[in-house]
Structure 1
Amino acid sequence: MIALGLSLFAAGGCAKNTEVDPSITNIAVSNPDFQTLEDAAVRGNVAILLGNSNPGDPEGKFTVFAPTNSAFARLGLNSAQDLTVLQQPFLRNTLFYHVFNGTLPGVALTPNSVSPSALGPQRRIIRRADNSLYVNGSKILGTDVRASNGLIHPIDKVLLATGADVLNSALALQKGDVFVQPELTYLVEAVLYTNLAGALAGSPGGAPLTVFAPTDQAFKNLGTMLGVPLNQPSDIRKLPEATVRAVLLNHVVGGTQGGKFTSELPENAVVASAGGAPVALGAFTNGVLTVRGNGNGTNTANMVIPDVQCTNGVVHVIDRVLLP
């Protein structure tokens, strides 16, 4: 893991170098395992910042949780061109969520400890029964790759945080503030139709939620199955409000399983949804779990964007509507 480094690239490009005490950026340039992160840093306009001394730390240090190429590939981001599907401000904020102002060595990454990010929202360290270590839902592949201006901890999934509650995070996706192409538009319409906006917005100090958020295509597929074409979000209103409300509540989990990342959800277990119906979780495999509603039969939903940190919980975007 010591061979892994953060692939950040200074704006305008810079040559690979072998200086004795390289910066984070210089380490990155020579490491192909972080090519997508390098491209993201350029597009997000943070490469020069992380190639220099940190002005926000007395010792000039950064600590960076660094997603590998494979981590970005989980989100369908394999190249610089792929990154253009994300709005630049969101990409920049996402990169800042990976950064700690100061030195956060591996020995400080203890279970249940939290650390603020340069974006603001905190990240939580989780240790699983097999002794593997995670930051939120991302596995820490190695620690303490040293650079002249800080430390690098490689991880296997991109860390995501919105800085907003579940409702407003969904609205940001619906308005195209995250992806250039709007997403979760059907979910937002369903929430408004059933007057559940207040429940997803939460209240200060309220109990955290775990929310499974179906994609637009998941709702379209549901319409095909029901024989009620859902060609646009407003078509959700063709369905009885009580039915839509029951379905939505089946995607929300609170109580002891509220606010959980994939790394801490109980695998091969059944949890109770906010609507009272059971939701079955599959095995923890490659950092994600399948999810199945009682009315889905043997059909399971996959997590396509897991572990999105919101101010009142965690959202996992899934590819199938969970039926109660």
Structure 2
Amino acid sequence: MLKKTLLPLTVAMAAFSLAACSNNDTAATDTPADPDNVTIVEGDDVTVVTPEEEAQPMPEVDPMGEAVATQSIGEMAAGNENLTILTAALKAAGLDTMMMEAGEYTVFAPTDDAFAAVLTKLNVTKEELLANTDLLKTVLPYHVVPMVVKAADIPYGTDVKTVNGQTISISDANVITDASGNTANITGTDMMATNGVVHVIDAVLLPKE
């Protein structure tokens, strides 16, 4: 008699346990997903991307995988803390607009230290140099080549004509020389801009008068 009484009770408890497990599985499965999150499924991997992660901009790249330039040469120089005198000189000479407009230029950009050395050489102050627009309109174009020349494409040992009409030459050691006896080392290369490329140099080139 005891066995007959316990059997239905055991069956009922087992059924209740199965029902509880089923309800728990359903609750876990039916939990609504956060509508603000994005779920990415790749094979067996599941990644949940929050809105903050999704909103982060990716750098622009061209089909070859290289970063796309977003600033002009003028904007790039203005944002570089080592090219403040060059930026001021371009503005004083009225050449800053040209460096922001569309075109194809290669600029050999002297650093502030390079300008400091030439101030001593010329025995002038920075203010006096910036006021001498005739000199700046001769010197600054001497640092510009009217085409885009990346570091890998520099024609070593060949005369390269600059915007002011005179030529410079670059050795395979990345040293610029000219007929006036100027020398400058190229210390930074391939700063790409929307209108050309900038190579940083450690001296100001003074063309023939």
Q: Report the equivalent of 1:237.
A: 130
Note the C-alpha offset of 1:163: 2.0
Q: Give the secondary structure class of the aligned counterpart of 1:291.
A: strand
Q: Give the secondary structure class of the aligned counterpart of 2:120.
A: helix
1:292 equivalent in alignment to 2:177: yes
Whether contact under 8 Å (1:212, 1:251) holds in the other structure is: yes
Q: Report the equivalent of 1:209.
A: 105
Q: Could you give the per-residue CA deviations for residues 304-324 of structure 1, whole angstroms, max 9, x where no partner exists? A: 111111111110010001111
Tell me, which stretches of 5 or more residues in structure 2 are unaligned? 1-39, 43-56
| Counterpart Cα distance in 1 of 2:106 and 2:197 | 5
Q: Report the equivalent of 1:115.
A: 64
User: Which amino acid in structure 1 is aligned with residue 177 of structure 2?
Assistant: R
| Counterpart Cα distance in 2 of 1:322 and 1:294 | 11
Q: Report the equivalent of 1:317.
A: 200
Whether contact under 8 Å (1:215, 1:320) holds in the other structure is: yes
Runs of 4+ with >2 A deviation: 234-238, 292-295
| Superposition map of 1:164-179 within 5 A | 164-173=71-80
Cα RMSD after superposing both structures: 2.7
1:192 equivalent in alignment to 2:91: yes
| Counterpart Cα distance in 1 of 2:85 and 2:128 | 9
User: Which amino acid in structure 1 is aligned with residue 169 of structure 2?
Assistant: A
Q: Give the secondary structure class of the aligned counterpart of 2:159.
A: strand
- Alignment: residue pair count: 154
Tell me, which stretches of 5 or more residues in structure 1 are unaligned? 1-54, 58-92, 102-113, 122-161, 174-181
User: Which amino acid in structure 1 is aligned with residue 75 of structure 2?
Assistant: N
Could you tell me which of 202, 206, 222 is aligned with 2:118?
A: 222
Q: Give the secondary structure class of the aligned counterpart of 2:70.
A: coil
TM (norm. structure 2) is 0.66
Q: Report the equivalent of 2:50.
A: none
TM (norm. structure 1) is 0.44
Q: Report the equivalent of 2:191.
A: 308
| Counterpart Cα distance in 1 of 2:162 and 2:130 | 23
Identify if the C-alpha distance between structure 1 residues 202 and 293 changes in structure 2 by more than 3 Å, giving closer, same or farther.
Answer: farther
Whether contact under 8 Å (1:253, 1:274) holds in the other structure is: yes
Identify if the C-alpha distance between structure 1 residues 229 and 294 changes in structure 2 by more than 3 Å, giving closer, same or farther.
Answer: farther
User: Which amino acid in structure 2 is aligned with residue 262 of structure 1?
Assistant: A
| Counterpart Cα distance in 2 of 1:248 and 1:293 | 15
Q: Give the secondary structure class of the aligned counterpart of 1:301.
A: strand
Note the C-alpha offset of 1:202: 2.3
Whether contact under 8 Å (1:186, 1:219) holds in the other structure is: yes
Question: Percent of aligned pairs with the same residue?
Answer: 30
Note the C-alpha offset of 1:235: 4.3
Q: Report the equivalent of 1:280.
A: 169
User: Which amino acid in structure 2 is aligned with residue 217 of structure 1?
Assistant: D
| Superposition map of 1:251-270 within 5 A | 251-254=143-146, 258-270=147-159
